[in-house]
Amino acid sequence: MINSRFSGSQARITDFIPLPNSFLTQVMPQIQDITELKVMLCVFYLLNHMPGHPRFITYSELLSLNPLMVGMEEEALRHALSLAVEHGTILRATLDIDGKPEEAYFTNTEFDKEAVASIKAGKLPVSEAMSQENIFALYEQNIGVITPMISEELKKAEKLYPRQWIRDAFKEAVALNKRSWRYIARILERWTTEGKEGGEHRQSTKEDSPDKYIRGKYGHLVKR
């Protein structure tokens, strides 16, 4: 048993991890097992520090994590994870990683539900999910939490614009301290109409054409 007393945090505000409000209002009242709470806080911490999307943590990684497993048996870890899945705090899926099945855990968000379904259907290779820094990761890292409305806008943009354009637009917005999706969308729209040095836009169908954004509610913001 660890008896050392916590001496206080020297962390900056940016070193803290975000927890959804629903965790406190909906999940906490269901938790009766302190081990489940300990495991969930550790899972949120680990997922928050992972790159790419979707983010997930495997059972093997949790089992090898010393701070989590001090004083905890493997059976207790499995039980805590099962409770968390039952309560809807996290999602569980069995993935093929390097040729062997691995239990993986995701946050229970609409985006991660779609990602898990895509992985299971073979539409999103696990290797790509583990390595890609897509538009959703860029948004979370540079702007903040993804809302359902923003998620739809990001999906549309990811289909319309080359990945390098999206990365460059985020980089430009951050450099100018303009951390908003509206500003980034305007950059991408401007590059579409005026061109972007060193980049080519993919062939778009009429339905996917960026012109529909120019004609839309932000059309007056685009320099022609």
Going along the chain from its start, the domains and CATH numbers come out as: 14-132 (1.10.10.10), 136-221 (1.10.10)
DSSP state for residue 193 in the 8-state scheme: H
**Are residues 55 and 43 in contact, defined by beta-carbon separation less than 8 angstroms?**
no
Question: pLDDT 10s per residue in the chain (224 long)?
Answer: 455 665 665 655 456 677 778 888 888 898 999 999 999 998 988 887 776 667 888 898 898 887 788 888 999 999 999 999 999 999 998 887 777 888 999 988 887 888 888 877 777 666 655 555 567 778 877 888 778 788 888 888 888 888 788 889 999 999 999 999 999 999 999 999 888 865 444 434 444 455 544 455 445 444 44
CA distance 172 to 222: 17
- The torsion of the CA quartet 181, 182, 185, 190, rounded to 10 degrees, works out to -150
CA distance 120 to 117: 5
CA distance 71 to 167: 43
CA distance 40 to 146: 21
Secondary structure of residue 94 in the 3-state scheme: strand
**Are residues 58 and 104 in contact, defined by beta-carbon separation less than 8 angstroms?**
yes
> At what angle are helices 74-87 and 34-48 packed, to 10 degrees?
80
pTM, two decimals, is: 0.56
